Amino acid sequence: MIPVDGFDDPRVADYRHIADLPHLQARSIFVAEGRLVVQRLLALPQWHTESILVTKAAADSLGAALDAARAPIYVADQSLMNAIAGFNIHRGCLALVSRVPARVIDRSVIARARRILILEGVNNPDNVGGLFRSADAFGVDLVVLGPDCGDPLYRKAIRTSMASALSVPFAAAGSWPAAIGELRDAGFQVVALTPAESATPLPHANVPPGKIAVMVGAEGAGLSAAALAAADFRVRVPMRGAIDSLNVTTAASIALYHFSLH
C-alpha cells in the first residue's frame, strides 16, 4: 500500500485522465471502476493491471483480492481521489489496465465457440455492457463486434457489464457483412432478432440444435438490411402489450436464454 498525499503525484498522473479517451488510447490502457469490477479483474489472468487507486475503506473491503494483486496499490483519501479523477468515485476504487491488441475473427477464434452474440451498430455503453453481462449469464463463448459498435473496454461499459466485458471473449467482425457468411461457413445458424411482424415468433423458430449465433442491432435503427439478408433466420420476441419492441439487452437476453436450452 503506497500512500498518495498530493494531486500532482506523478505516480497517479494517468488517473487524472480517466475521462480522456484519446489519452487512454495513446497509452494503450483502459479503466476499471468499482470494487466488484476490480475484484473480478484481479482474478482474470489474461489482463495486466498496471496500478490500482483506492481509498482506505475500499482497500479494507477488497482485502485478500488486493493482497494477491501484482501491481502497485496507491491509497488516497476520498476527497483527493475525487480531485484526481475529476468526479465523485463513490466506491473508492479504480484500476488502470493494459489493453491487448484487438482481435478480428478468424477460423481459430470461431472454432472455440458454440454460442456467439453478434452486435451491429450497438454503441450505447449501457447496452454494450448489458449485452456482455447477458452473454456471460447465458453461456456465450464469443461476442462479435460489427460496424459502429461501442468499446467493451470503455469504463461505463465494463461497470454495467459487472466486469463480464473482461471475461467474455470478443473480436471485431472485420469485413461486413461478409463476417456473417464466415460464421455460417463455420457451421453456425445465424439468428437475426428484429421486431418486424414478418419475423418468426421466437417460440416457433425452428432453429436446428448446434452452433448458434444471435445477432442484434442498435435500438431504433435495428439491424441493417444487409445483415438481415445474411442471416439464416429472422426471429422476433412475441409481445402482448401496446409496445412494439424491447430494449436490445432485454430482447437479446430472452433469445440467449431460449437458445441456451437447445
Q: What is the pLDDT of residues 108-131, one digit of tens each?
A: 999 989 999 999 999 999 999 999
Poorest-confidence range of 5-9, 119-123, 181-185? 5-9
What 8-state DSSP symbol labels residue 218? B
The reply to whether 36 and 120 lie within a common domain is no
pLDDT of residue 159: 96
* CATH number of the domain enclosing 127: 3.40.1280.10
Total number of domains in the chain: 2
Residue 82 pLDDT more than 80?
Answer: yes
Mean pLDDT of the chain: 95
pLDDT of residue 42: 96
- The Cα 130–Cα 133 span in angstroms is 5
pLDDT of residue 243: 79
pLDDT of residue 242: 78
What 8-state DSSP symbol labels residue 135? H
Neighbours of 216 (CB within 10 A): 27
The reply to whether 27 and 142 lie within a common domain is no
The answer to whether 222 and 259 are in contact (CB under 8 A) is no
Sign of the torsion angle spanned by Cα atoms 172, 178, 180, 181: negative
> What whole-number percentage of the chain has pLDDT above 70?
100
Q: What is the pLDDT of residues 30-59, one digit of tens each?
A: 999 999 999 999 999 999 999 999 999 999
The reply to whether 178 and 213 lie within a common domain is yes
Q: By C-alpha distance, which of 192, 205, 195 is closest to 241?
A: 195
pLDDT of residue 244: 76
Q: Is 140 exposed, middle or buried (0-12, 13-18, 19+ CB in 10 A)?
A: buried
The reply to whether 177 and 55 lie within a common domain is no
